[in-house]
Amino acid sequence: MVSEKVQKKLNEQIQKEFYSAYLYLSMEAYLASRNLNGFANFFRVQAQEERDHAMMFFNYVNKVGGKVELGQIDAPKGDFESLEEVFKMALEHEQFVTKSIYSIVDLAQEEKDHKTNAFVQWFVNEQAEEEETAEYNLRRLQLVGTDGRGILMLDTELAQRVYTPPAGVQQV
Ligand code: FEO
């Protein structure tokens, strides 16, 4: 059993993870509309991972006998000015999610809820990776600027990304 406060935070996180999936799907659609299918593929895989994250929180709340409460998911931004805007926004969004995960850790520790604290540590590591990847992508994109050949090279590279379910966690 988790406290009401922890349960509320976990439910809010389910919502944030689904919103992340929604945001990345919106980015995928924008990139596909510009014929950048490799970039689009990157965000398709990213959106799938976010759905996994949402379901991991969902499963956890159920497992500890809590009550899942699903909130409203806002519409994400639908149009973007440039590739750079997409990647900047993706990085900022991951930084926002990291803060949110840290606040769950803080609350779990404050309440001496070791189980939730242990559960959420996976996400602490995951966020470090997500931010690293987002920063890496942004830096590479800034390196090529608006050079068409450079962009197509990155597009080919990002087309290689394959979805793999999170290691060590229940497949959802
Ligand atoms: Fe589930 Fe990218 O945060």
Q: What pLDDT is attached to residue 27?
A: 98
CATH superfamily label, 4-71+80-158:
Ferritin, core subunit, four-helix bundle (1.20.1260.10)
Q: Is 52 in the pocket of ligand 1 (CB under 6 A)?
A: no
Name every residue whose Cβ is closer than 8 Å to that of residue 22 and which is 6 or more positions away in sequence: 47, 73, 74, 75, 76
Q: What pLDDT is attached to residue 72?
A: 96
Q: How far is the CA of 50 from the centre of ligand 1 (A)?
A: 5
Domain boundaries in the chain?
4-71+80-158
Q: What pLDDT is attached to residue 1?
A: 86
Q: How far is the CA of 6 from the centre of ligand 1 (A)?
A: 19
Residue of minimum CA distance from atom 1 in ligand 1: 50
Tens of each residue's pLDDT in the chain, 172 residues: 899 999 999 999 999 999 999 999 999 999 999 999 999 999 999 999 999 999 999 999 999 999 999 999 999 999 999 999 999 999 999 999 999 999 999 999 999 999 999 999 999 999 999 999 999 999 999 999 999 999 999 999 999 999 998 865 555 4
Q: How far apart are the first and last CA of the chain?
A: 22
Q: How far is the CA of 53 from the centre of ligand 1 (A)?
A: 7
